[in-house]
Structure 1
Amino acid sequence: MAGCGGGPSDGKDGGGEGKDRSSTAPTDASTAGLPSSLTSQKLDWGRCKATADSAAPDAEWRCATLKAPLDWGKPDGKTIGIALIRARATGDDRVGSLLINFGGPGGSGVSSMPYFADTTAKLRERYDLVSWDPRGVGASEGVRCRGDQDIQAAEAVDTTPDTPAEEKAYFKDAGDFAKSCARAAGTLLAHVSTTDTARDMNLMRLVLGDTRLHYFGMSYGTELGGVYAHLFPKNVGRMILDGVVDPTVDSVGQSENQARGFQRALDDYLKSLGEDPRKGTQKIVELLDRLDAKPLPTSSGRGLNQSLALTGIVLPLYSQTRWPELTDALKAAEQGDGSGLLSLADEYDERDSAGRYGTSSQSQRVISCLDDKRRPSPEDAKKVLPEFDRISPVFGKFLGWDTAGWCYDWPVAGQFDTPQVSAPGAAPILLVGNTGDPATPYEGTRRMADELGKGVGVELTWKGEGHVAYGSGSDCVDATVDAYLLDGKVPKDGKVCS
Structure 2
Amino acid sequence: MAVPIDYGNPTGESITIRMARLKSTNNGTAPLGTLLINLGGPGAPTAALIKDVAKGNQLFSEELMANYDIVGLDPRGVGTSNPVKCNQRIWNERVNLFPTTEEEYQSIVAHNKALGESCAKLTGNLINHLDTAHVVEDFEMFRLAINNGGLNLLAWSYGTQIAIQYAEKYPENVNRFVLDGITDHTLPETTTLIAEAATYEATLNQFFLWCNTTSDCLLQGQNVAGLFDSLVKTAASSPIPAPNCNSTGDNACFSTITASDILTNVQFLLAGPNINTTWPELSSSLAAAAQGNAGPGLSTPIATSDNYNGYAFLAIACQDWLHESSGVTDVLEKQRMAAAMFPHTRGASESYYAQVKCIGWPALTTNPQHVLEKKALRAPPMLLVNALWDPETSIVWATGVARQLEETGSVLVTRDGAGHTSYLGSLEGETRGVEEVFLLTGVLPAKGLVLRS
* TM-score, normalised with respect to structure 2: 0.86
Which residue is 1:409 aligned to? 360
Structure 2 CA distance for aligned equivalents of residues 114 and 394 of structure 1: 39
Higher relative contact order (CA 8 A, sep 6+): 2
Q: Are 2:293 and 1:329 aligned?
A: no
Which residue is 1:209 aligned to? 147
Q: Are 2:91 and 1:142 aligned?
A: no
- Contact 1:192–1:367 (CA<8 Å) still a contact in 2? yes
2:138 to 186, 197, 200: 200
Query: CA separation of 1:329/1:316 partners in 2, compared to 1, >3 Å: closer, same or farther?
Result: same
Which residue is 2:23 aligned to? 88
Query: CA separation of 1:188/1:487 partners in 2, compared to 1, >3 Å: closer, same or farther?
Result: same
Q: CA RMSD in A?
A: 2.5
- Contact 1:315–1:344 (CA<8 Å) still a contact in 2? no
Question: Which deviations, in whole Å up to 9, do the C-alpha atoms of 1:416-442 show, x marking residues without a partner?
Answer: 442446512211100001111110011
Question: Which deviations, in whole Å up to 9, do the C-alpha atoms of 1:215-265 show, x marking residues without a partner?
Answer: 011000111100001100010000000001123313433222221111111
- Contact 1:226–1:452 (CA<8 Å) still a contact in 2? no
- Contact 1:98–1:215 (CA<8 Å) still a contact in 2? yes
* Alignment map for 1:100-249 (pairs within 5 Å): 100-115=37-52, 117-122=57-62, 123-147=64-88, 149-152=89-92, 154=93, 156-163=94-101, 165-249=103-187
Q: Are 2:259 and 1:306 aligned?
A: yes
Q: Are 2:198 and 1:260 aligned?
A: yes
Task: Specify every segment of 5 or more residues in structure 2 that has no aligned partner in the other structure, as ranges.
Answer: 214-219, 246-254
Code of the aligned partner of 2:364: A
Code of the aligned partner of 1:260: A
Tell me how far 1:287 sits from its aligned partner: 1.0
Code of the aligned partner of 2:389: G
Which residue is 1:52 aligned to? none
Structure 1 CA distance for aligned equivalents of residues 444 and 7 of structure 2: 34
- Contact 2:387–2:418 (CA<8 Å) still a contact in 1? yes
Tell me how far 1:457 sits from its aligned partner: 2.0
Which residue is 1:284 aligned to? 228
Tell me how far 1:162 sits from its aligned partner: 4.0
Greater shift in the superposed pair: 453-462 or 245-254: 245-254
Tell me how far 1:189 sits from its aligned partner: 2.0
Which residue is 1:316 aligned to? 269
Question: Which deviations, in whole Å up to 9, do the C-alpha atoms of 1:438-466 show, x marking residues without a partner?
Answer: 10011222211222341342111111110
- Contact 2:385–2:398 (CA<8 Å) still a contact in 1? yes
Code of the aligned partner of 2:12: G
Structure 1 CA distance for aligned equivalents of residues 414 and 221 of structure 2: 24
Q: Are 2:387 and 1:437 aligned?
A: no
Tell me how far 1:210 sits from its aligned partner: 1.2
- Contact 1:244–1:432 (CA<8 Å) still a contact in 2? yes
Q: Are 2:442 and 1:488 aligned?
A: yes
1:370 to 319, 325, 341: 319
Query: CA separation of 1:71/1:417 partners in 2, compared to 1, >3 Å: closer, same or farther?
Result: closer
Question: Which deviations, in whole Å up to 9, do the C-alpha atoms of 1:22-65 show, x marking residues without a partner?
Answer: xxxxxxxxxxxxxxxxxxxxxxxxxxxxxxxxxxxxxxxxxxxx
SS of the equivalent of 1:454 reads: helix
Code of the aligned partner of 1:336: G
Task: Specify every segment of 5 or more residues in structure 1 that has no aligned partner in the other structure, as ranges.
Answer: 1-65
Code of the aligned partner of 2:34: S
Structure 2 CA distance for aligned equivalents of residues 462 and 358 of structure 1: 36
2:309 to 360, 363, 368: 360
- Contact 1:252–1:403 (CA<8 Å) still a contact in 2? no
- Contact 1:373–1:413 (CA<8 Å) still a contact in 2? no
Quote the sequence identity (%).
27
Structure 2 CA distance for aligned equivalents of residues 476 and 293 of structure 1: 45
* Alignment map for 1:434-473 (pairs within 5 Å): 434-473=387-426
Greater shift in the superposed pair: 188-197 or 168-177: 168-177
Query: CA separation of 1:299/1:385 partners in 2, compared to 1, >3 Å: closer, same or farther?
Result: closer
SS of the equivalent of 2:35 reads: strand
Q: Are 2:243 and 1:294 aligned?
A: no
Structure 2 CA distance for aligned equivalents of residues 390 and 469 of structure 1: 31
Query: CA separation of 1:259/1:282 partners in 2, compared to 1, >3 Å: closer, same or farther?
Result: farther
Which residue is 1:29 aligned to? none
Code of the aligned partner of 1:281: A
- Contact 2:151–2:174 (CA<8 Å) still a contact in 1? yes
SS of the equivalent of 1:409 reads: coil
* TM-score, normalised with respect to structure 1: 0.79
Which residue is 2:378 aligned to? 425
SS of the equivalent of 1:200 reads: helix
Greater shift in the superposed pair: 486-495 or 211-220: 486-495
Structure 1 CA distance for aligned equivalents of residues 221 and 12 of structure 2: 56
Structure 2 CA distance for aligned equivalents of residues 265 and 303 of structure 1: 25
- Contact 1:242–1:431 (CA<8 Å) still a contact in 2? yes
- Contact 1:96–1:128 (CA<8 Å) still a contact in 2? yes
Question: Which deviations, in whole Å up to 9, do the C-alpha atoms of 1:98-145 show, x marking residues without a partner?
Answer: 110111111111222333551213321111110111111122121112
Which residue is 2:217 aligned to? none
Structure 1 CA distance for aligned equivalents of residues 419 and 137 of structure 2: 31
SS of the equivalent of 2:18 reads: strand
Query: CA separation of 1:456/1:180 partners in 2, compared to 1, >3 Å: closer, same or farther?
Result: farther
